[in-house]
């Protein structure tokens, strides 16, 4: 059986150049429609929705618009701040959120951004559910009689780090690594988790300014990481992309590892 047609959602949510394909009005509509779709599908009176984002300059604007749409539809918003995309699943599972949204365009340049929706189980929404959300974007429901609230989720980064640490019970003592955080979503947490596991960590590309995400750094450009590792006594290096859901590695001589090995 074929799935309903989707025109806004691609294989990885809604993504495009900010101010053109993606703007505040669309972000608000996605928040409103996603929340209303959840209310109808699961009969949840007041959905609880997590929002996290990367470091793009458009992130706070889209985050605010998305949150406004969610609360207009009667959902409560919890702002987790700048965190890698995988944190959407881990933090949602920890707190029992009904929906999670990530504001990011992954490895794209700063002028792009995107919105990805995840279910309470941590998985991406299926095609049929996304098509249902799209239908509600085109035919918006009336505002909820009782709008939701927006709260900051204090300690979301620590919730994420504890979850990651529990999955990787490793002793990296004596291992020196270089991490390229792409001036993106991992710039605070990547070094912390490697340090907790005992590694000696050197960080590069950890000074996001809203526009330098993925710019000559991270998994889209291994040059800086390769040079840094080859010139140091590090055993290896890792380069993340802007939203931290993919990583590439180089050996002690700065040579990239083939992901198929």
User: In which region does residue 50 sit, left (phi positive, over 0), alpha (psi from -120 to 50) or beta (all else)?
Assistant: beta
Q: Is 106 one of the catalytic residues?
A: yes
CA dihedral 145→93→156→48, nearest 10 degrees, is 0
Q: Which residues of 40-78 are buried (b: 16+ CB within 10 A; e: fewer)?
A: eeeebeebbbbbbbbbbebbebbbbbbbbbbbbbbbbbb
Any idea which residue has 């991992």 for tokens? 186
**Residue from 37, 64, 92, 106 carrying the catalytic annotation:** 106
Q: Name, in order, each residue with C-beta under 8 angstroms of 24's C-beta and a sequence gap of 6 or more.
A: 61, 62, 64, 65
CA dihedral 218→221→225→226, nearest 10 degrees, is 150
Catalytic residues: 106
């Amino acid at each position: 059986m074929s799935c309903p047609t989707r025109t806004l959602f691609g294989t990885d949510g809604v993504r495009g150049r900010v101010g053109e394909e993606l703007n505040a009005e669309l972000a608000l509509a996605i928040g409103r429609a996603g929340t209303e779709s959840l209310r109808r599908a699961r009969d949840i009176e007041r959905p609880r929705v997590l929002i996290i984002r990367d470091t793009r300059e458009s992130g706070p604007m889209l985050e605010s618009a998305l949150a406004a749409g969610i609360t207009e539809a009667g959902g409560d918003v919890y702002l987790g701040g700048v965190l890698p995309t995988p944190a959407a699943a881990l933090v949602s599972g920890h707190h029992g959120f009904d929906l999670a949204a990530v504001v990011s365009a992954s490895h794209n340049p700063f002028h792009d951004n995107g919105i990805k929706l995840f279910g309470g189980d941590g998985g991406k929404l299926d095609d049929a559910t996304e098509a249902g959300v799209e239908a509600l974007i085109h035919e918006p429901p009336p505002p909820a009689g009782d709008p939701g609230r927006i709260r900051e989720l204090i300690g979301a980064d620590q919730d994420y780090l504890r979850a990651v640490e529990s999955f990787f019970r490793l002793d990296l003592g004596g291992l020196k690594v270089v991490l390229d955080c792409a001036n993106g979503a991992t710039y605070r947490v990547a070094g912390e988790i490697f340090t907790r596991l005992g590694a000696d960590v050197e960080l590069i590309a950890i000074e996001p300014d809203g526009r330098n995400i993925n710019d000559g750094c991270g998994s889209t450009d291994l040059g800086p990481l390769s040079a840094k590792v080859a010139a140091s006594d590090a055993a290896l290096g890792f380069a993340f992309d802007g939203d931290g859901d993919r990583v590439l590695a180089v050996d002690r001589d700065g040579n990239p590892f083939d992901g198929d090995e």
